[in-house]
Structure 1
Amino acid sequence: MATVTHSNLKTSLGSLVIGSLAATALSGIVMMQGILYFRMFGKDHLGMKLIVSSIILLDLLHTAMLWTADWMYLVAGFGDMNITNHVFWSAGVSIALTAMTTVIVHFFFTYRLFRLSKGNYFITVPMAIIALLRVGSAFTTAGELKFLGVLHTLPLAVTLGLVLSTALDIMITSGLCIFLRKSRSSGNGSSGRLDHILNSMTLYTIETGMVTCIATAISLIFWLAKPHALIYLGLHFAISKFYANSFLASVNARKLLRAQHVSLSTSGSGALPPVFTNRFIRQSGVSVQPDTVDLTSSKLQITIDKTVDYATDDIPMSSTRTTRSNSATSPMEDVKAKV
């Protein structure tokens, strides 16, 4: 057991507090995105709603475990100079909850890549296996902590879990970007507008994948550099939140992408790749249709009166007025305009 200095003690406990505060703030964003999802996608399949609900529930439990761990370190262990040599059961449970959130998100994005690659098992099956190995190493770590209570005695399990998570993030992000680029058309006109949306999707995929990858990589670096300090654990507190936010942000982004798709469809462009539609789960062999985008709330009625002047043979240059009324509706308030 390593000797804990006063400086290391302050660094370790400070990292736990800062990590818990950051994780709690990110948990608030998770909750907000969950509320937005149920408001915007009330017609989603029940399976998709259960996945979103499970992510939110795991996030709430994870936050509760973080503050339980902080209580044990800062209050129950007050005055114990060797307190940071131990990892309490609540921290072990938080590691297991992080693994559960991570594997759900990894499977979700792996499924997206599977659909975008048109059923490429050669790429997606190894990713699914890595995701299972990652969650297995995390549960091994959490289980051993229940009996040992010291995290730095499990270097292989902890290192393996962080390495697998980082590698899988890179693989999924790279795969999605590659196949999105392949979906781009080489034509002009409406296809060029579709390419603009695909470029936005590519940038969005890189940004969301990069956040989780960087957070995991930094935690791995501190674990390898200072295994007896708890900086890596404070960083690990926020990893679960990054994955939950990445998942919910990707799901909620469908509304904006569909709104852009509607404008492209009216101009005759191609359809979006199936990875960004609402058919994540099928029911009885029938695909769930995407939600329609309701950009406005009421109707607009425009009445157009046309006046035609004509001359007859028996009445030279006599003008008779004839009026026709055409009407068109569009989703806004009732308004009449005469032309």
Structure 2
Amino acid sequence: MASAAAAQLAALTNAYKELFATTFIGFTVSTTLYGVSVLQTYLYFRQYTEDQWTVKTMVATLWTFDSLTTIFVAHVLYVFVFGFLNREPEINIPWTFTAEKLLVTLITFIAQFFYAHTIWKVSLSKITTAFIVVLAVGSFGLGIYTTVHLFKNPALDSISTRSFLIVSGLVQGLAALNDIVITGALSYYLYIRRIHSLASSGKLIDKLVLYAVSRGTLTAIAQIMFLVLNVGVPHHQYWLPFHMAVGKLYVNSVLATLNVRQSLTQTEVQLGPGVSQLVNQNGEKSHIGISSKPITFAPIGVTNSTMTTVTLSRSGAPDVEQG
């Protein structure tokens, strides 16, 4: 009897140690990323005061969710530390962890929907946009299901059940697949513009392609590692750092997409429903115009006094205007 109690206490201690270690690592990484998102949010509201209220509301919502997830992760770490010190007889998932998971699900959906608008404006492809939206909605719906499951079953072993692992794996799998599709679509349609654009616009489009690949790779890798570790080693919590980081990667990718307008040379960027803005090489705003269209990147090349705009028509063919 005594040996069984000792074995149970040892198992409990090891479980708490693992929870503390993985949560601490995740908290450290996520807090660092949160600092970056705070800076990016400040820069956005300082530099882009002309954007429509819908874009500003999206940014404020993402920052609020990001802040709450940081607070919730800190609370989870607090619970695990003092639970270990008090030698509680069982391990339950804190409600703040489940709430943080819900917010990450919402952040992922908002970010992927944002990029669905970007794909639509760049390509005007209903099929590609619809596919991205379906994947985003599917991941969001299953994410809500797993969140409700955790609220109803807060025991730690509930996340290791076969049914939960299947649904959770689908959530991360759909999200990772969507990131890959978004990255591939952005790169492909921007590359088409690269082929049909003038030389002065080519370098700019190359930068946009590189940026699209970079942001998509980070979020996709985080989702894939989350999936592999969650399903591959279900009785361990090695996936926690990736779960805590992935939401903040989405927030920073959206904010970076908005803030990059200031750094692109002679680039007209429409974010919608939002603002069309032309900036020069020194980063000074040259033209501000309100646009009701969703999201597009329209490179502008300036040679002497001639300005060339490269866009795609609804049929997908490039339209070049000079003036």
TM superposition score normalised by structure 1 = 0.74
For these two proteins, the number of residue pairs brought into alignment is 270
Question: Does the C-alpha gap of structure 1 residues 230 and 198 become closer, same or farther in structure 2, counting only changes over 3 Å?
Answer: same
> What is residue 305 of structure 1 aligned with on the other side?
none
Cα distance change on mapping 1:290 and 1:151 into 2, 3 Å: same
Distance 1:164 1:125 in 2: 14
Identity of aligned residues (%): 23
Answer whether contact 1:92 1:141 (CA < 8 A) is retained: no
Q: Which one of 273, 277, 285 corresponds to residue 281 of structure 1?
A: 273
Q: Is 2:71 the partner of 1:64?
A: yes
Counterpart contact for 1:41–1:291, Cα < 8 Å? no
CA distance in 1, matches of 2:266, 2:216: 23
Q: Secondary structure at the match of 1:53?
A: helix
Q: CA RMSD in A?
A: 2.1
How far apart are residue 117 of structure 1 and its match? 0.6
1:141, CA displacement in angstroms? 1.0
Unaligned runs of 5+ in 2: 1-7, 285-323
Distance 1:68 1:140, change over 3 A: same
Selected match of 1:161 from 171, 177, 180: 171
Aligned ranges 1:8-157 → 2 under 5 Å: 9-80=16-87, 86-118=92-124, 120-149=125-154, 150-153=158-161, 154-157=164-167
Seen in structure 2, the aligned counterparts of structure 1 residues 45 and 294 have a Cα distance that, compared at 3 Å, is farther
Match runs of 1:198-277 below 5 Å: 198-257=205-264, 259-261=265-267, 277=269
Instruction: Name the SS for the 1:43 alignment partner.
Output: coil
Q: Which structure dedicates a bigger proportion of its chain to strand?
A: 2
Residue 80 (structure 1) shift: 3.8
Name the SS for the 1:11 alignment partner.
Answer: helix
Partner SS state of residue 228, structure 1: coil
Q: Deviations over 1:246-299 (max 9, x none)?
A: 110111001112x333xxxxxxxxxx6xxxx134106xxxxx4426559488xx
Shift of 1:227: 1.2
- Give the counterpart letter for 2:254 in structure 1: F
Which consecutive unaligned segments of at least 5 residues does structure 1 have?
Answer: 262-271, 283-287, 298-339
Contact 2:266/2:278 (<8 A) preserved: no
Post-superposition Cα deviations, 1:106-159, rounded to whole Å, max 9, x if no partner, equal: 0001110011112x1111112101111111111111111111113223112211
Structure richer in helix, relative to its length: 2
How big is the shift at 1:235? Answer: 2.0
d(CA) in 1 for partners of 2:196, 2:272: 28
Aligned equivalents of 1:123 and 1:211: distance in 2? 21
1:310 match? none
Task: Provide the C-alpha distance between the structure 1 equivalents of 2:79 and 2:67, rounded to a whole number of angstroms.
Answer: 19
Deviation at 1:25, TM superposition (A): 1.1
Letter in 2 for 1:147: K
CA gap 1:86/1:296 in 2 versus in 1, 3 angstroms = closer
Question: Which residue identity is paired with 2:94?
Answer: F
Give the conservation status (yes or no) of the 8 Å contact 1:101–1:243: yes
Larger radius of gyration: 1
Moved more, 178-187 or 191-200: 178-187
- CA displacement, residues 193-216 of structure 1 (integer Å, 9 cap, x when unaligned): 211111111011100110001111
Equivalents in 1 of 2:138, 2:21: separation in Å? 32
Contact 1:165 1:216 in 2 (8 A): yes
Quote the residue 1:184 is aligned against: 194
